[in-house]
Amino acid sequence: MIEEYIQTFANWFSMDNVLFEFLGQKVSLLECLSTFTGLLCVFLAVRAKVANFWIGYIYNVFLFVMFYQLRLYSSMILQPISLGINFFGHYRWTHPKENEKDGKSRLKVTVFNNGERAVVLAVILIFTFVWGYMLSRIDFWFPSVFTQKASQPYFDAFILGVILMAQYLSAQKKLDCWACWLVANFSNIILLNRNGLGIMPLVYAAYILLAIGGFLAWLKMYKKQHYLDLRKKIEEKWAAEKR
């Protein structure tokens, strides 16, 4: 009986469980669920809502199952790591330090300087070459788990590196995270289209629009908080001079 339930569950979330065709591409139930949870997660992140993390946990599970079936092993391995970063971000957003709080006691939006951005770029490039090489050999090292060669290992590794960095910066509420999300979304459109997905590339096109909206929304929050912080420093300086 338990085996029957497991098999039924596996059939429901198989990429072969096609609901309809779109532009000549077969669209599965799993792809539809991933689409819905992904869009909802990003929409909530744009609005700086903590609920985005709860939806993100479900989204990670759907993507893990889907990418395993597509042999996009780098993107698959990303999901448990992404889940950990989500937990970290969830905590950071809800437990900011005293000097990190905005006017509503939430984690405030901050930005990197050019030196820090150069470090971010270097980390992504180093990660791409190292992980891309490992990914190209993963079927040789672990043949019992990865029965076929990875699809486009270096490109997949680059996307993984950019997404991990974007998630880490999002967890820290860095405005720069949206630049990483834009690069990741453009790259994912190319990758998923090459691997025969019909709706997911369109979803990432929607992510691009949401990333632009997220950047503008967070930029507004940053400018407002920067003004308040500057005003507070001036008031504290004036108060000190009067003593």
Of 40 and 106, more confident? 40
How far is 41 from 57, CA to CA, in rounded Å?
Answer: 9
Range of 178's domain?
A: 2-15+22-94+117-237
Task: Quote the Cα angle for 85-172-46, to 5°.
Answer: 90
Whose CA is closest to 197, among 186, 189, 185? 189
Residue 160 lies in a domain: yes
Residue 107 lies in a domain: no
The pLDDT score that the predictor gives to residue 162 is 93
Residue 243 lies in a domain: no
Q: Do the beta carbons of residue 31 and residue 199 sit within 8 Å?
A: yes
Mean of all residue pLDDT scores within the chain: 81
Please give the average per-residue pLDDT across 83-89, as a whole number.
88
Question: Residues 27-48: pLDDT tens digits?
Answer: 777 788 888 898 888 888 888 7
The pLDDT score that the predictor gives to residue 127 is 93
Residue 99 lies in a domain: no
pLDDT band at 181 (very low <50, low <70, confident <90, very high): very high
Residue 104 lies in a domain: no
Q: Do the beta carbons of residue 38 and residue 59 sit within 8 Å?
A: yes
pLDDT at residue 5 is higher than 60: no
**pTM, to two decimals:** 0.77
Residue 31 lies in a domain: yes
Residue 204 lies in a domain: yes
Provide the domain count of the chain: 1
Please give the average per-residue pLDDT across 182-208, as a whole number.
79
Of 197 and 71, more confident? 71
Whose CA is closest to 187, among 154, 152, 150, 158? 158
From residue 87, alpha-carbon distances to 52, 114, 116, 217, 242 in Å are 11, 28, 24, 23, 46
Residue 69 lies in a domain: yes
Whose CA is closest to 157, among 139, 184, 132, 177? 132
pLDDT band at 141 (very low <50, low <70, confident <90, very high): confident
